[in-house]
């Protein structure tokens, strides 16, 4: 059974602070790691698809790193803004099509 874990489950951060959270996944049969940003009542928004060990990807103030050998990925948000409040989901993929999701990190930015 593939298990993907995210930590912490929830996080409160002051506006302007930077933050990061973790996704742990199996280190074998790795194909890709996806990050999504999900606001209530909206579609989960694709942030990154990461495939190579050592990958670093960036979109604005959000970046992610990948370590496939040890089975973890970090998501970083620099200078948090209220609009960053959302649940951040990671999902692991083997060669099959399905995504295996973690439970998400719920981020709240306090103004």
Give contact residues for another protein (rule: CB under 8 A).
4, 31-32, 34, 36, 41-44, 46, 49, 51, 89, 91, 93, 96-104
Of 1 and 111, which CB lies nearer to another protein in the complex structure? 1
- Given a contact cutoff of 8 angstroms between Cβ atoms, the answer to whether 30 and 49 are in contact is no
Distance in angstroms (rounded) separating the CA atoms of residues 64 and 82? 20
The least CB distance from residue 18 to another protein, in Å, is 25
From start to end of 1-111, where are the E strands?
5-7, 10-14, 19-24, 32-38, 45-50, 56-59, 62-67, 72-77, 86-93, 100-101, 105-110
The least CB distance from residue 51 to another protein, in Å, is 5
Of 32 and 62, which CB lies nearer to another protein in the complex structure? 32
The CA dihedral of 45, 49, 50, 55, to the nearest 10 degrees, is -70
The least CB distance from residue 106 to another protein, in Å, is 12
Of 13 and 49, which CB lies nearer to another protein in the complex structure? 49
The least CB distance from residue 70 to another protein, in Å, is 20
């Amino acid at each position: 059974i593939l298990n993907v874990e995210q930590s912490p489950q929830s996080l409160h951060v002051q506006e302007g602070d930077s933050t990061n959270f973790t996704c742990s996944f199996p280190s074998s049969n790795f194909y890709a790691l996806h990050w999504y940003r999900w606001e209530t009542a909206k579609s989960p928004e694709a942030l990154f698809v990461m495939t190579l060990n050592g990958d670093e990807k960036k979109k604005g103030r959000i970046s992610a790193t990948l370590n496939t050998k040890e089975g973890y990925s970090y998501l970083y948000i620099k200078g948090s803004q209220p609009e960053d409040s959302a649940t951040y989901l990671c999902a692991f993929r083997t060669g099959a099509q399905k995504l295996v999701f973690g439970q998400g990190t719920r981020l709240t930015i306090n103004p």
